Homo-oligomer: A and B are copies of this chain.
Amino acid sequence: MEIIRIPQIMQDITRTYIMHNKTIGFVPTMGALHEGHLSLVKMARAENEITVVSIYVNPTQFGPAEDLSQYPRNIEGDTEKLTGEGVDILFLPVGSLMYPDAFSTRVEVEGLSRRLCGLYRPGHFSGVATVVTKLFNLVRPVRAYFGQKDFQQTVIIKQMVKDLDMGIDIVVCPTIREEDGLAMSSRNLYLTREQRAAAAIIYKCLTEASEAMKSGIIKVAELKELMGKRLASESLVSEIQYCSAYNPDTLDELEQIGNETLLAIALKIGETRLIDNILVAAGQ
């Protein structure tokens, strides 16, 4: 596995691959890799001739009160895992080359970025859209892989790719879960043992809501009450940011469940913010 740190060199290598007609699959990450990331890597490997993984903890997608400085980093462990997966290139861009002094461009996906997590993390999705645009321009993939856990991110990136004619196939892969259902996330490392046990409530709540839908509840107000009560039963949940049923395309909150419904939750356990979601098809 080759490790590249200079954006310009990454772009030169990409250009050579493209000239040789190689398909590039790309997995952008912030490191602290877990089985969720590795499932994306495996998919990229299976579908493309060249697999590029980036690790970059992008400062512009963190708010001033967020966890940028504490965000877990484990480059050695990550490198080992990616070598094991047969990744061709690990792109580890130098921060000062990503955002030099006069940097002043922003990519904004309006509307979608203001919903759900966007309400609690102003500027977050603009930071994501901007860095992903940069990474896409450097890596020039045919396909890029994202986890469904960050559902809103996948919707926003798909919209951006379409709007800006990037010509990249965005592949959304299933959320990988721990045995008790907790969605894998680098931020799970923040949790104490007690908090970690309590966090299982999120997926339980989602699956119960899905069951309730199958048993005939169609009013989202009812569903929401049920979910809210379930989450409130866990005393370590310190804040519920959102918890409801949404249109998976527009991310609008629904009044009645639709053909395909996104059930999504964002909450805090202690100081740790966790998100999860499931998609439920009507009649499932």
A contact residues vs B (CB 8 Å cutoff):
7, 11, 15, 18-19, 21, 102-112, 129-130, 133-134, 137-138, 159-160, 163-167
A54-B109 Cα distance, complex, nearest whole Å:
25
Residues A102 and B166 in contact, CB atoms below 8 Å apart: no
Task: Give the nearest-CB partner of A12 in chain B.
Answer: B167
- Which single member of B138, B159, B166 contacts A137 (CB below 8 Å)? B166
A108-B110 Cα distance, complex, nearest whole Å:
12
Residue among A11, A106, A165 with max Cβ neighbours from chain B (10 Å): A165
A111 contact set on B, CB distance < 8 A: 104
- Which single member of B104, B110, B137 contacts A106 (CB below 8 Å)? B110
- Stoichiometry, as copies per complex, reads 2
Q: How many whole Å from A138's CB to the nearest CB in chain B?
A: 5
A103-B111 Cα distance, complex, nearest whole Å:
10
Q: How many whole Å from A5's CB to the nearest CB in chain B?
A: 14
Residue among A129, A164, A167 with max Cβ neighbours from chain B (10 Å): A164
A16-B102 Cα distance, complex, nearest whole Å:
35
Residues B134 and A165 in contact, CB atoms below 8 Å apart: yes
- Which single member of B103, B110, B160, B167 contacts A163 (CB below 8 Å)? B103
Task: Give the nearest-CB partner of A18 in chain B.
Answer: B18
Q: How many whole Å from A48's CB to the nearest CB in chain B?
A: 16
Task: Give the nearest-CB partner of A113 in chain B.
Answer: B104
A42-B15 Cα distance, complex, nearest whole Å:
27
Residues A163 and B19 in contact, CB atoms below 8 Å apart: no
A19 contact set on B, CB distance < 8 A: 18-19, 21
Q: List 7 A-B contacts (CB under 8 A).
A: A103-B163, A104-B110, A105-B109, A107-B108, A108-B108, A130-B164, A137-B166
Residues B165 and A138 in contact, CB atoms below 8 Å apart: yes
Residues B107 and A105 in contact, CB atoms below 8 Å apart: yes
Task: Give the nearest-CB partner of A10 in chain B.
Answer: B165
Q: How many whole Å from A99's CB to the nearest CB in chain B?
A: 8
| CB within 8 Å for A167 and B11 given contacts A111-B104, A159-B105, A160-B105 | yes
A21 contact set on B, CB distance < 8 A: 19
Residues A11 and B165 in contact, CB atoms below 8 Å apart: yes
Q: How many whole Å from A158's CB to the nearest CB in chain B?
A: 11
A112 contact set on B, CB distance < 8 A: 104
Beyond A106-B108, A107-B164, 5 additional pairs, beta carbon < 8 A: A19-B19, A105-B159, A134-B165, A137-B166, A137-B167
A110-B111 Cα distance, complex, nearest whole Å:
20
